[in-house]
Each structure stands twice: as C-alpha cells, then as structure tokens.
Structure 1
Amino acid sequence: MYILNQSGRTVDVPENMELEMSYRNDIKVLSVSHNFWRNYPDQVAVLKKKNVGLVTDEQLNAVPKTEKKEDLPIKRIEGRVNIKIPKGKIHFVIYPNYLPKVGGIETAVYELAKLLDRDKYFVTIAYNSCESAEAMVKYSKVAKLVKLDDRGLNCDVCLLASNHLQPPQIRAKAWLQWVHSDYEKYNNLQLVENKNIFKYVAVSKHVAKVCKRMFGIDCEVIYNLLDPNFGKGIEKPIRLVTNSRLSPEKGFDLNEGKSKVVRFAELLKASGRNFTWTICGDNTHMPNEQIRIIESLKHIENVNFVGYKSNILPTLTGADFLVQLSNFEGCPYSILEALQVGVPCIVTNWKGVEELIEDGVNGYIIRQDMKGVDINKMLDNIPKGFDTKPKGNISQWDKLIKKSLCLKK
C-alpha cells in the first residue's frame, strides 16, 4: 500500500498494516497490494469512493522509490475523552475502528456490548469512522459511543474487535484481541503485531488451531454470542399456499367488486396475524385478467404471486394450509396433492367438496359469500394427523378396464 501522509509525502505501508490504514480518514490511499485487493473487495470498494484512481501497487509505476521510505503518519494525541465511570464498574472498551451497518464482526461487537452485565461493566465502543447515522443509532443502544479522532481514552480492558493495530489514543490496563477468520484462507495474511496482548480470543476451535499453527498463538475459544431471547416471543408466520389458474371461477372474480381471494386476504390482515400467502399459477389465455388479479392484491403485502410452478411440492411442503376458494370444482388436484402430504385445506363450499374435506378434520369449509369466516379459529386450530391416504386407487381403473373387456366378449 502507498499513501500520501499529511505532509504530502508518499509512504510505503507494509502489508500487515494495510487493513488498519485503510480505515484512516486523514490520509489519501494511492494503491493497495494485490493480496489486499483480492482479500478485501468490500473495503476496496469503500476506498475507491474516497480515493479516485485507486490501483494496485503493481500498477502504481510512477511513484518515485526515493519517496517511499518516510515513516507512517502518527496521530498526535490532543486531550482525553472524559467519561465518568460508576464506582466499582469495569470500563470495558471494544475497538472496531470502523462502524458499518452490517457484517459478522459488527454483529459480534453489538451482541457482546449488549449482553455484558451492566451491574459489572461500563461498555464503550471506540471508533475512528462510521458508515452512517443509522449505524451510530444502532450501536448507541448498547454502549457509550466515542469517536476517538486525536483524543485519548483510558479504560480497564480494551478488546481489539478484529485485526487492528492498538490505537495510540487508548490506554488500557489489559488488551484482548478477537480472531474471527481462518487466516490460512487469506493468502498469507498475517495478524497485526500488537504488544502486550493478554489473550487472543478465537471464535471457534478451528480458528484457534489455525492461529496456533500459523502464528504460534494460544487462543481462548469463545463462540459468537447471540441474545438468548433472539426469536422468542415472535409469532411464526402462518404459511398459506394456493396452486391455481388465475381465473374468475377459481375465486379471483373481480366483476362483483372484491374477489373471494381479496376478501379472505383482507380478513387475514385485519386479524393482525402474521402470515404469508404464496399464490402459484398464471393465466396465459387471459393475460389482462391475470394483471387485474395481481393488481387487486397489491395492497396486501403478505400475498406473493410467484407464477406457474411445474413442481409444487417444494412450495407446498411446510405450508400450514392450502387455500382454494373456487366457485365450483370437480375433484381438484391441488386439494388431493395437499392432503396427501399432510397439508390441510381451506375451501369454499362448492358442491361435492365434502367428499374431500371434512370441516375441522382435514381442513375448513367456508361459505361462498364469505360470511361468518372465523380466521382465528382456523389459524389457532390447524388440523394435524388426518388420513393422508389417496382417495383414488389405480386398482379401480384396472378393474374397470378388465370389466369392460369382459363385457365385449
């Protein structure tokens, strides 16, 4: 990596310091090594936005060699960050240098800061630059945020969140360093050489073994943390599936204002229940009608049209209900397929439907005029364990064919 320092001189940065220097806002980056370009494409993209004309070191042929020996720019510490730490609490600082909105390491920083016991710890996240105000709001919910700039910060323990140099602004009684990556996969990328690291913390046994093998470092293994309440108290969405031609007689009739499908979707939304409704099918014979049908449900964001599916099984498997709100049917395959894989059905009361669906046993039968539909009753009592044996049997055809031949003799 070659940079322009504050005095306008070109400086040669060793490869093991490139990542750290790439987050600095007080320098201009002229080029990065080929390994950095290949291993950190996201950071290269960020650098390109801030440093127009960024190239690899090999492409930067015009840099005079005599100007490549100046020392790296050193930040001057001017003043200190004053934080009043409650008596008896440990001041724990996490230093990620750069705060983006998303990323695995960033999630690890967030979760650690969130889960540390506030009766024991005062948690600060110290950084030099931040991607957005949105990111700052996120992190500020779990820790005190401090933008270092040229100010010093004292603490009890500082955790380097990744492969960072120890920032000169921070004075800590003890240093920890997180190791998140399998360095054997990064083309000889080295750990930054920091002094007085009390313990390196690897996120897996494999990462710890790699560190021992490559750098001779013994790591303590602590797997990435996740809030114990993650996913709890959140209602899983009810999954509804329809597999049907998009035509009026299948419950999509718009001539009377709102179709049965629209009215049922609105009842679902009004119930406040968490649901998704995937509608498979098209209407190649009436494309304009298909467009009207899709437009009629745009106000229900939980409804998704996915087009014709030659294999409905992946969509059907795991569904809570198949929904078929037809005006009339013979013996619809969509119902037979659903029942055979154990998916109950919500259907309208077309003539003959009771031959396939027993209300409350393997599905629910609702009125054609949609009156009296009890959404919560159906969603709270999803039929399970019903008979999935096919209604039809090939032996019936076999007998009929043989019988017809006997009669001809």
Structure 2
Amino acid sequence: MIHAPDTKAVSDDVASAFEDFARAFEAFKDANDTRLAEIETRLSTDVVTDEKLTRIDSALDNAKRRIDRLTLERARPPLSAGHDTARDPAQAEHKAAFHAYIRTGEASGLKRLEEKALSAASGPDGGYLVPDAVESEVLRRLASVSPIRAIASVRVISGGQYKRAVSATGPATGWVGETASRPQTASPTLAEMSFPAMEIYAMPAATQTLLDDAVVDVDRWIAEEVEAAFAEQEGAAFVSGDGLNKPKGFLTVDTVEEEIWQWGKLGTVRTGGAAFPAENPSDVLVDLIYALKSGYRQNASFVMNRKTQSAIRRFKDDNGQYLWAPPASLGQTATLMGFPVVEAEDMPDIAANACAVAFGDFRRGYLVVDRTGMRVLRDPYSAKPYVLFYTTKRVGGGVQDYTAIKLLKFAA
C-alpha cells in the first residue's frame, strides 16, 4: 500500500506557504500604494513600479496555488478510512475482484458479482463498476478541486436524469384570521426543470510493471489519475457548457438587464464599458452585490478567474483599505468586500460584453447531478506497452434558481 505523506511535514509546508503568501500580499500593497502615489503626483506611473507590481502579483497567485495544493493534500485521508471492508463481505469481495481485474485483466470475479446483482448494463464492452469506496473518494476529491461543484448543490440520482417542478411566480399564500374564511389564492405557475446526466470520461495509463507491484494502492491510483481530468472537464461545463452532451453552464443561460429581470434568465449589472470605470471602479461591485436579494446575499460568493481577481485586488474603499483580503487563516478563502472569492479559470477575462464576474448563492442557484456508479474498462491493446483504463461517470448540471445568481457584464 502507498503510505500517506507525513502529516507534520505537510502541515509545516502549508504554514510556510501561508507565511509566504502573507508577505507577498504586504509587498503587493506597498508596490500598489507607490503606483497610486505616482499617479497622483505625476499623472502616470513609473515603468519599473509597474513591472515590480506585476511580478509581485504573479508571486501572489503562485503562493495561493501552492497553499491550495498543500491544503488539499493534507485534507486527503487514506482511501479506506471510514469503510471497513472486513465488516462488509460484499464490499470486500467486490474490492478483491476489482483489484484482480485492474492488475491482470481477470474479470471472472466481477462477472460473477454482477450476475448475482442481476446487472445487465455492464460487462466487457461497458466496463465494470468500481467499488463504492473508490467512487466516493473520486466525488470527494472533485468537491475539493472543482470550484463550482464546491459551492453548488449536489444531488445523487440512480436514473438518467433528475426532474423537479418549480414555481416561477412564487408560492400562493395569504394571511387570514383565526376564524375567518380562507379565500382562494391565485394558482401558482409551475415549470418543470430537467437535469440529464451526461457521460464524462478519463483514460489514465499505467505500465504492467506498475500494476504488478503489490505495494501500489490501485484504488488511490485510479482516484488520483481521474481527479484532474474530471475536475477540468466539469469546471468548464459548469461555467460555459452548452448542454449538448455536457451540463449546461450558468454563463450560457439567457441574460437580461437586472431592471427588467424575469424568470428563466440571469440578471446582469453593466459596468458602463469594456473595463472597470476609471473613477470609483468598485461602485459596480456594490451594485452587483445589492442586485441580489438579501435572502441570497448571506451565503453568496464571487466567482471570477485569476486575471479578473488580479485587477480587483488593487481596488480600495474611501478609507484607503483594500477591498480584497487574503485568507485569514489556513483552509479559508480570500474575500472581496466580505464575501468569499472562488477562483474559476473557466470564467472569461475582462473584455467587451463579457460576464467576467458572477455573484450569488450557488448552493441555491446551481445544481450538480451525479448518477451513481463509475465504470472502468481495461484496455491493454491500444497503447502497448501501456494499459489504458477507460473510466466513465455520468454527471449533469444547470441553473435551478434564476434569482440566486447575478452577473457583472462589461458593456455600456
């Protein structure tokens, strides 16, 4: 079995990375204050100051990525934690049969198990189900590294799609006295929302020598190999997926100006141009925050990519305090005007007509649907001397509450 990394060493690395990040932010503030002072005195900035600020900004991003990576590694428990196969003979049998299939291609054990379960949806052509512990580990890892999944609602289903009825006009209610008659309320307008689960795949490869090594933890290897591929594909789909063979991203939903918002569309707040306004640029962020109803604001987050965050990191309030603040402690996120900032690299850069910043309660606004079951098909022939493992899972997603998310649009 692969041994877990030394906890104390990882903790020391995280603490060191956090200290580097804090020092980088202090240097960033000093350099940016110098830049602002030069603008006030000379109406321009020195090239050296701009280059220094850019270097520090890049170092700040690198330090944040290092913290995120080390924090994730520290949070990963052993794969078997919380799942005692010794007390679950069926799971132990499945795990043993799965290991035999991965290492040698011997599928008789898995075939026998699926015959017991009367399963007709798997086999050599479709692959075999991974043990529950492996599937749970993959989903848990995705929740840590997939930015939108981490803040959205997640529902597990057993069918091909999830349907729900929603009231587009709000509930039909009314006030009455204790003994007064109950007047008839207006009929609610119901709309059916459907979230189909689409197939996503990854194809990690290994040499047969690696698979023959008895100390290699096959379960952990599968989970780690598919994590990055699934997270990358999911992240792009949840943001900008068109809904064709993939989830529908929130940026592909029809938009409308917030003043004339209607159900089925996401409201937008315009910046007045293709960039933040030169004067009081943070005012548009305030407008974006208060475009969201108060019931959603308490759990809201900003979503943007690294370049947009870099631009916003320079904003100050009227008292000269930076609006963007680094994480207060390990395991926490940066904040903007008191709200968490989620970095999603699939968000667009600041440009004309781009919705580069999203703000909302994504737990109520966006739904991720996972269908149970993850399959692996072993292929030792297509890329000799490597053995490919065609790994598939089914996932869907889409906006479920159009009042919970608002977009900042860079347009006049």
What's the TM-score once normalised by structure 1's chain length?
Answer: 0.21
Return the structure number with greater helix share.
Answer: 2
Larger Rg: 1
Q: Which has the higher contact order (CA 8 A, sep 6+)?
A: 2
